[in-house]
Structure 1
Amino acid sequence: MTTYRRPGRRAAALAAALAVSCTLVAAAAPTATAGAARLTPFTLTSPDFHDGGKLPQWTEFGGPGAEGAPCQGKNLAPRLDWRNAPAGTLGYALLVNDPDAPLAGGWHHWVLYDIPGDARRIDGHGKLQYTQGANSFDTNGMPVVGWGGPCPPATGQPHHYVFTLYALSTPTLPSAGLTYEEVTTAIQPHVLGATSIVGTFKLP
């Protein structure tokens, strides 16, 4: 049975979810096209939702391992695309966090790393790629690895899901199954830049 520590109130502003990103990339500058004045920022997008818009219903938490949770969706991650990575990028890490959950640091929905430096997208839609870390869900006391979709309380209040992609000067991290906090610590000396996109989800 899955243990779901159900959020009961809004615990943090959306800006708080971006604090880790700001700390890690405080010294990073926008990338400029060679010989041109216009900026070409490191940008994350998705064909499945727009920045600030609703996540698809099929992303909702559910399926095997969701027994006992109040959500029974398809638990499929959205596709993500990016462009204009900083020079020197050898790898990426992706972290997805819900800052509205009443937990210190928010609820972690996806931890993905060892993404090659030449990659330009994450397929999502149930396709397993790269190294999957532990999210905030657990099954019989064991952490759930991989995408754990949105499952906010049925209050009608939207929760915000912050997808942050980090460009790194290293192709890999030390081990598999790392937590959100472990990845944040491991990437700190390697961050060249970061880009985010926010999706929302609410129940009912």
Structure 2
Amino acid sequence: MSKVFIMAAALSSLVSMNSNAFELTSQDIQEGKKIPQAFEFNGFGCSGSNKSPQLQWTDVPKGTKSFAITAYDPDAPSGSGWWHWSAFNIPASVTSLAQGADLTKLGATELKSDYGSVGFGGVCPPRGDNMHRYQFTVWALPVEKLDLSADVSAALAGFTVRSMAIGKAMLVAPYNR
């Protein structure tokens, strides 16, 4: 038996013993299932409650000192997708958010969504458009505070978060009108 095969087998069993994966779930939205209309934006021709969904995450990566959350629609007909939510500096002690949570009460920074308002902006694809995929992501970060101001773009915050994340947990749910 080759040494490479033995090492690969040993690594495989080590990975299977530690199979806990950083995971994002929600009581309000489910992976692959259409988002309820209540989480639709209120404006731009949409008439939802514009509340963020309840979220919870488990099996946080070791070394996490804070979290960032993003909600992004890569299918928006803008040429660059659509940022529905971008928040960072969420304390590492927080592993769930209630529906409609005010992240500023946690000391977090919420940025403007692509609607132009601070905080969560609900789903609202153009009427008759194909199904859009909404990517809710929690990012585990190795720093307590990102050195970003509250007026940076969601794209710049996303770049910064991705460049340093030690883990991410994503939930993707579709929506169309």
Q: TM-score, normalised by structure 1?
A: 0.72
Q: Which residue of 1 aligns with 2:137?
A: 164
Superposed displacement of residue 96, structure 1: 0.8
State the alpha-carbon separation in 2 of the partners of residues 106 and 122 from structure 1: 25
Where does the alignment leave 5 or more consecutive residues of structure 1 unmatched?
A: 1-31, 138-142
Superposed displacement of residue 202, structure 1: 1.3
Cα shift readout 1:40-79 (whole Å, capped 9, x = no counterpart): 00000101121111112111000xxx3xx11121111101
Return the match for 2:17 from 12, 37, 51.
37
Q: Which has the greater radius of gyration?
A: 2
Is the 1:111–1:179 Cα contact (8 Å) retained in structure 2? no
Return the match for 1:185 from 149, 159, 164.
159
Where does the alignment leave 5 or more consecutive residues of structure 2 unmatched?
A: 1-13
> 3-state SS of the aligned residue for 1:200?
strand
CA, structure 1 residues 156+117, in 2 after alignment: closer, same or farther (shift >3 Å)? Answer: same
Is the 1:80–1:121 Cα contact (8 Å) retained in structure 2? yes
Is the 1:165–1:196 Cα contact (8 Å) retained in structure 2? yes
Superposed displacement of residue 103, structure 1: 2.2
Cα shift readout 1:11-60 (whole Å, capped 9, x = no counterpart): xxxxxxxxxxxxxxxxxxxxx89xx8141000001011211111121110
Alignment partner of 1:111 is 2:86: yes
Is the 1:145–1:177 Cα contact (8 Å) retained in structure 2? no
Return the match for 1:128 from 87, 102, 119.
102
More helix by share: 2
State the alpha-carbon separation in 2 of the partners of residues 45 and 181 from structure 1: 24
State the alpha-carbon separation in 1 of the partners of residues 74 and 126 from structure 2: 14
State the alpha-carbon separation in 2 of the partners of residues 146 and 172 from structure 1: 18
Task: Give the count of matched residue pairs.
Answer: 159
Return the match for 2:33 from 39, 53, 72.
53
Is the 1:132–1:177 Cα contact (8 Å) retained in structure 2? no
Q: TM-score, normalised by structure 2?
A: 0.82
